Structure 1
Amino acid sequence: MRDRFGALASQDFVMSTRTAAQTQSADTSSAPSHNSSAVPWRERPLLTMQEAAGIAGVSQASLYLMAQRGKLKLRKFAGRTMAETSSLAAALDGAEAWTPSDRNGKAVAARAERSRAAWAD
């Protein structure tokens, strides 16, 4: 399956659903698990760009832009670009609190002034 950019969709991002019995048997087995969803994302050293974008709720392009601005560290691993988990966590933890802007109020005032000026002519 190809995504909108023509790249093959990553199979490791697909979350699997397991029954309680499957989870219990997987937890007791000594074989290593290759399911990325079995390890919490903050405990993994690297995340695929698709995973990092999903966690942050932004596009992959936004992640590359953050990296260019020095706000996110990217690594190459096995030919893939990966985001450093600690860097992503720091960026998310350091996100500024949202505050409403006065942008709309200024725009309304400017339109009202233009309207008054037009009627005065």
Structure 2
Amino acid sequence: AAESGPSDVSLPDDLAALHGAMAATTEEQSAILEEAFGFVAERRFYLRKAIQHNDLEMALRYGLCLANELRSSKLLPENYYRLYALVFWELQHLAAFVASGRHGLDAAEVYETVQYEGSAL
């Protein structure tokens, strides 16, 4: 009996259907990513507005909204990274604001404020 090698491996009959599904996935990925970017842009506006008004509570709330956008399990790794990079960049503004103390609270008061939040930021 002859041994079968890698060239003898048969591909599924529906390889063309699989390729079509991948193309649909690419379109779906684009739609999901576009929606996520739109959500981030909207929340970024409100985050920066809260920072301009030295409103720590609202800034934290919008920062949390941005971070929660990363809970998506529907994105492929490359697209998830693009979303992550955008969210991380925006959260740097929040981090600088919290560290600056412009909001008028000391570190202990900031700690107390975030303790009542259900999600970690």
Shared fold per TM-score greater than 0.5: no
Greater relative CO (CA pairs within 8 A, separation 6+) = 2
**What TM-score, normalized by structure 2, do the two folds share?**
0.28
**What TM-score, normalized by structure 1, do the two folds share?**
0.28
Greater strand share, structure number: 1
